[in-house]
């Protein structure tokens, strides 16, 4: 399985208000057959649950994205710096993909690093 890219698509402070990966990555994330998504959580303020979700759309407009069913491992309970993974989706995604991240309480710094692969 050939790697098509590896890219950090987010590095920012996250709160209970959801944040999304930048639109500059939507098309690139929709190209490969499989995605491996690593969520790296740093600077945690107390125990919390960090949630991440893959979303997809065929036109890339922010109001048309929906949850990409079949992605696994979409949250992790965090009380110290840690990381978790979203598994590759088991269905064919739309043309554009983004990552949504939020936390249950407090704030933390989150980095999202994605590897795309083609079979």
**pLDDT tens for each residue of 3-58:** 999 999 999 999 889 999 999 999 999 999 888 888 888 877 777 788 888 899 99
- Candidate from 49-53, 78-82, 87-91, 114-118 with smallest mean pLDDT: 87-91
Phi first, then psi, for residue 62 (nearest 5°) are -55, -30
CA distance 90 to 18: 24
Which alpha helices (DSSP H) does 9-59 contain, by range? Answer: 26-30
The reported pLDDT for the residue numbered 49 is 80
Q: Could you give the CA distance from residue 110 to residue 107 in angstroms, rounded to a whole number?
A: 9
Q: How far apart are CA 48 and CA 6, in angstroms?
A: 28
* All structural domains of the chain: 2-118 (2.60.120.260)
Tell me the three state secondary structure of residue 7: strand
pTM: 0.85
């Amino acid at each position: 399985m050939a790697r098509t890219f590896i890219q950090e698509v987010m590095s920012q402070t996250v709160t209970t208000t959801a944040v999304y990966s930048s639109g500059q990555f939507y098309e690139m994330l929709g190209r490969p057959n499989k995605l491996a998504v690593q969520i790296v959580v740093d600077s945690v303020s107390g125990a919390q649950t960090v949630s991440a979700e893959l979303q997809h759309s065929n036109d890339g407009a922010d109001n048309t994205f929906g949850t990409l069913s079949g992605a696994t491992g979409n949250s992790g309970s965090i009380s110290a710096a840690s990381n978790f993974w979203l598994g590759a989706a088991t269905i064919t995604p739309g043309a554009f993909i983004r990552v949504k991240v939020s936390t249950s309480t407090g704030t933390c710094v989150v980095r999202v690093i994605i590897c795309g692969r083609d079979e």
